C-alpha cells in the first residue's frame, strides 16, 4: 500500500443514475489495501442520493462539502450543511436526499473497502436498463439492505 493524493476533479467517474448523475471514486481497495473506498457524490436538487438502508458489514462516513442535504440516521432526520461530518456504524439505518434548491456535494467513506464494486455493477445495470428487482438483488449482494417499510398509520373511521 502506498500513499494516495487525488486532486480536485480527479478520480474515476461512475455514472449510476439517470441524466448522467454519478459519483467520482477517489480511492478503492487496491489503493488502500482493503481499508476503505472513498467517493465524491453530487446530489442535484430534489434527488435522493440513497434511500433508507443499512449495512451488516460496513461502516460509512459522510462529509458535506457544499450545499445542504437531509440526512437520516436511525429515526432522526436533520438538514445538514457544508462542513458537517457524520459517522454511521454498521447496522444503523441511514439515507440522504437533497430537499433544497441548490446542488450538494459530499465525500463518502466506506469501511472496509469494496463499495466501488457495487458502483461499477450499478453502472452496468443502469446502462442496460435493469429492473427494480435487479437493483434490489444487486443491493443485497453488496450489503445494502433496504430499511423495513414502516406500516402507514391507519386512523379509525368516525362513526
d(CA 57, CA 100): 32
Asked if residue 117 is part of any domain, the answer here is: yes
Which set of grid coordinates corresponds to residue 123? 453502472
d(CA 137, CA 106): 26
- Domain total in the chain: 1
**Taking all residues of the chain, what is their mean pLDDT, rounded to a whole number?**
89
The pLDDT value given to residue 157: 44
Asked if residue 78 is part of any domain, the answer here is: yes
Closest by alpha carbon to 66, among 91, 99, 102, 38? 102
Question: What CATH code is carried by the domain that includes residue 83?
Answer: 2.60.120.10
pLDDT of 100 > 50? The answer is yes
pLDDT (tens digit per residue) in 9-60: 999 999 887 666 789 999 999 999 999 999 999 999 998 888 899 999 999 9
In whole angstroms, how far apart are CA 17 and each of 67, 82, 136? 20, 23, 15
Length of the chain: 159
Asked if residue 57 is part of any domain, the answer here is: yes
| Residue range 98-117: mean pLDDT, rounded | 94
pLDDT (tens digit per residue) in 73-89: 999 999 999 999 999 99
Asked if residue 155 is part of any domain, the answer here is: no
Asked if residue 127 is part of any domain, the answer here is: yes
What is the extent of the structural domain holding 38?
Answer: 13-146
Look up the pTM and report it.
0.86
The pLDDT value given to residue 19: 60
Other residues' Cβ atoms within 10 Å of the Cβ of residue 23: 25
Asked if residue 69 is part of any domain, the answer here is: yes
Asked if residue 123 is part of any domain, the answer here is: yes
Amino acid at each position: 500500500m502506498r500513499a494516495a493524493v487525488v486532486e480536485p476533479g480527479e478520480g474515476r467517474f461512475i455514472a449510476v443514475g439517470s441524466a448522467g448523475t454519478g459519483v467520482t471514486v477517489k480511492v478503492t481497495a487496491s489503493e488502500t489495501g482493503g481499508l476503505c473506498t472513498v467517493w465524491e457524490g453530487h446530489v442535484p436538487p430534489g434527488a435522493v442520493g440513497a434511500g433508507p438502508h443499512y449495512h451488516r458489514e460496513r461502516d460509512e462516513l459522510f462529509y458535506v462539502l457544499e450545499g445542504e442535504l437531509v440526512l437520516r440516521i436511525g429515526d432522526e432526520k436533520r438538514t445538514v450543511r457544508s462542513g458537517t461530518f457524520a459517522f454511521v456504524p454498521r447496522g444503523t439505518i441511514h439515507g440522504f436526499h437533497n430537499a433544497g434548491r441548490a446542488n450538494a456535494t459530499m465525500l463518502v467513506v466506506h469501511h472496509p473497502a469494496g463499495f466501488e464494486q457495487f458502483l461499477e455493477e450499478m453502472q452496468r445495470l443502469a446502462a442496460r436498463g435493469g429492473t427494480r428487482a435487479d437493483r434490489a438483488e444487486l443491493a443485497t449482494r453488496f450489503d445494502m439492505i433496504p430499511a423495513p417499510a414502516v406500516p402507514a398509520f391507519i386512523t379509525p373511521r368516525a362513526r
